[in-house]
Amino acid sequence: MKKLLTDAHCHAHEFGEGELRKFEEVFEVIVAVSDDLVSSKKTLELSERYLFLAPCVGVHPWALGDSDPHELARELERLVRCGRVRCLGEVGLDLAFVPQTFDKQLDFFRMVLDIAKDYDLPVNVHTAKAWRQAHEEVLAKGVRRALFHWYSGPLDVLNEIVARGYLISVNPTVKISSKHLEIAKKVPLSALTFESDGPYDYRGLRLSPWLIPEAVRLVAMERGLDEVELLEASKDNIVKFLGK
Ligand SMILES: [Zn+2]
């Protein structure tokens, strides 16, 4: 039976297999992002056994460290050539937590976007306080499919993102952040998806896919829409995002 629940951005490789099996019972698709090359390989390996996981390979801006971005991009492309990769992520730019590495982040992100373009893959993008820059880079490279995860930036950039046909994912923090809830109310259904970013602790909230139904309920209530309508929109958008 087809299920309605989806998660647009989850670090599935950090969950135990017992938990993954439980997710599999209720989630149609979990877009499984990676943090670095090691977790990218693990995500690919998990996706061979858990078909509901859509594997993304990537290096998070927090994980660039002292590595040579050219070498990382070459390794990433090697993984892409294996043919199982469904998207590139988690990748992006971060001016909130690691602004000191921004130049390196930008070098690497541009190379990742070239890979996305060359292999026609979608990108699952981290944009902490670098919303405008991340959107401009994606646009400049002509990447067709992009999802700006846990978007919390200004509304004018949000409008540009959705006008270009890119997606936004709404996080369960709508329950504790009025700012995040306000954004969730502004995203048109054509660009809306739900995510967990689990497992991650945000102000005492342990993020996991299990929080998505409650987030959907809250956003539906705030928007005066039916929950099923939001679940279907999120699922349709994720399916389109993944393509093929
Ligand atoms: Zn993440």
Look at the block and give the residue holding tokens 């990447």.
143
Instruction: Using the mean position of ligand 1's atoms as its centre, give its distance from the Cα of residue 123 in Å.
Output: 13
For the chain, what percent of residues have pLDDT higher than 90? 97
Q: What is the pLDDT of residues 136-161, one digit of tens each?
A: 999 999 999 999 999 999 999 999 99
Instruction: Using the mean position of ligand 1's atoms as its centre, give its distance from the Cα of residue 83 in Å.
Output: 23
Instruction: Using the mean position of ligand 1's atoms as its centre, give its distance from the Cα of residue 168 in Å.
Output: 13
Instruction: Using the mean position of ligand 1's atoms as its centre, give its distance from the Cα of residue 208 in Å.
Output: 11
Instruction: Using the mean position of ligand 1's atoms as its centre, give its distance from the Cα of residue 72 in Å.
Output: 19
Look at the block and give the residue holding tokens 């602004």.
99
pLDDT at 163: 98
pLDDT at 1: 63
Look at the block and give the residue holding tokens 């048109």.
188
**Residue 208 predicted with pLDDT over 80:** yes
Instruction: Using the mean position of ligand 1's atoms as its centre, give its distance from the Cα of residue 91 in Å.
Output: 9
Instruction: Using the mean position of ligand 1's atoms as its centre, give its distance from the Cα of residue 11 in Å.
Output: 6
Instruction: Using the mean position of ligand 1's atoms as its centre, give its distance from the Cα of residue 59 in Å.
Output: 11
Q: What is the pLDDT of residues 4-52, one digit of tens each?
A: 999 999 999 999 999 999 999 999 999 999 999 999 999 999 999 999 9
Instruction: Using the mean position of ligand 1's atoms as its centre, give its distance from the Cα of residue 36 in Å.
Output: 12
Do residues 194 and 8 touch, judged by C-beta distance below 8 A? yes
**Residue 109 predicted with pLDDT over 80:** yes
Instruction: Using the mean position of ligand 1's atoms as its centre, give its distance from the Cα of residue 2 in Å.
Output: 26
Q: Please report, as a single letter, which amino acid is at residue 27.
A: F
CA 195 – CA 23 distance, rounded (Å): 13
- Alpha-carbon distances of 154 from 30, 180, 235, rounded to whole Å: 27, 11, 25
Instruction: Take residue 102 and report the two structure tokens written for it.
Output: 């921004």
pLDDT at 2: 75
Instruction: Using the mean position of ligand 1's atoms as its centre, give its distance from the Cα of residue 195 in Å.
Output: 9
